[in-house]
Amino acid sequence: MSNLISGAPRSLGQFDVGLLAYGMWRFDNDDIAHAQSLVEAALAAGMNLIDTADIYGFQSVDVGFGEAEEIFGRVLGQAPHLREQMVLATKGGITPPTPYNSSAEYLRSAVEASLRRLNVDVIDLYQVHRPDMFTHPAEVAATLTELRDEGKIREVGVSNYTPDQYDALAAHLEFPMVTTQPEYSVIELGPLRDGTFDRAMRDDITPLAWSPLGGGRIFADGPDGMNPELTAVIDGLAEREGVDRTAIALGFVLAHPSDPVAIIGTQKTERIASSTAALSITLDRNDVYAIVQASEGVPLP
């Protein structure tokens, strides 16, 4: 049985990262000791890519914007040695109550605000969080280039961009992007079909899959979770491999030939450690196609 999961590190331009990453979209507990324990557990598990965003922690227009970055910055302030062990990624461009803003003025202010909140001098990977359809990609590219030239960011990527939106920005950049960040899981197969993964393989960039556990839906059945056919396939593979649903779901994400990174966001250190079981399983072509067909509910032609 040929294993489709490559154990090789993923390349983010000048950085190599693990197959699993730690995401901070649920990082809203201001218990700094606990927050530090989560970061340390992720790094110990080989998750050297730490992914956050300025919108994480947002609760209302007046509350929570930048909260996850601030908490992370406090962790780095009291444990600065951790900074050297990670590739630090953040995102900007979601601007409540205005949905999106990628203007030159805003992106620059967002990067500088993230640097202050994170308590760092440079962001290793900066991604535009969602495309601003009313800013020309040439303006976005010029701003990202200036910030990179100034040493405020090192590498650039995009999040939640369509393939055409990605192409439009790439056409105006004089350097390559290194990431695209789509939602992808056994429940959400869009990147397989819409060209996102194809662009990634064409340009040799790394997909960063958010919500690889379907936002927890893999643990539920029925309308709010997996359909019965998908549940049966996932549970059968889990029994065969001697693991739980989490490992199979993460393994499926990692099995695509574009070599994605799966970003997990648990707030429990024990689940951070246990998620690495996905790195020791075997999924072959029959397995992944069985998952696809069960997820979509129809046989492939």
Annotated catalytic residue: which of 22, 56, 161, 184? 56
The average pLDDT across 284-297 equals 97
> Which tokens belong to 241?
């491999």
**Domain limits, the chain:** 10-181
The average pLDDT across 123-130 equals 98
- Residue 113's nearest CA partner among 97, 93, 137 is 93
The average pLDDT across 79-97 equals 97
How far from each other are the two terminal CA atoms of the chain, in whole angstroms?
Answer: 24
Sign, Cα dihedral of 272, 63, 140, 111: negative
Between 18-32, 90-104, 135-149, 282-296, the lowest mean confidence (pLDDT) is in: 18-32
Please confirm, yes or no, whether 22 is among the known catalytic residues.
Answer: no
d(CA 16, CA 186): 26
Give the pLDDT score at 29.
Answer: 80
The amino acid at residue 293 is Q
- Residue 181's nearest CA partner among 203, 166, 169, 170 is 166
Give the β-pairing of 94-95 and 87-92.
unpaired
Q: pLDDT tens across 136-184, in order?
A: 999 999 999 999 999 999 999 999 999 999 999 999 999 999 999 999 9
> Which tokens belong to 145?
């280039």
Global pTM value: 0.96
Residue 156 has, within 13 A of its CA and on its CB side, a CA count of 24
pLDDT averaged over every residue in the chain: 96
d(CA 163, CA 86): 29
Residues in a beta bridge with 90: 126
Q: ∠233-235-239 over CA atoms, to 5°?
A: 115
The average pLDDT across 270-293 equals 97
- What dotted CATH number matches 10-181? 3.20.20.100
What confidence category does residue 223 fall into, taking pLDDT thresholds of 50, 70 and 90?
confident
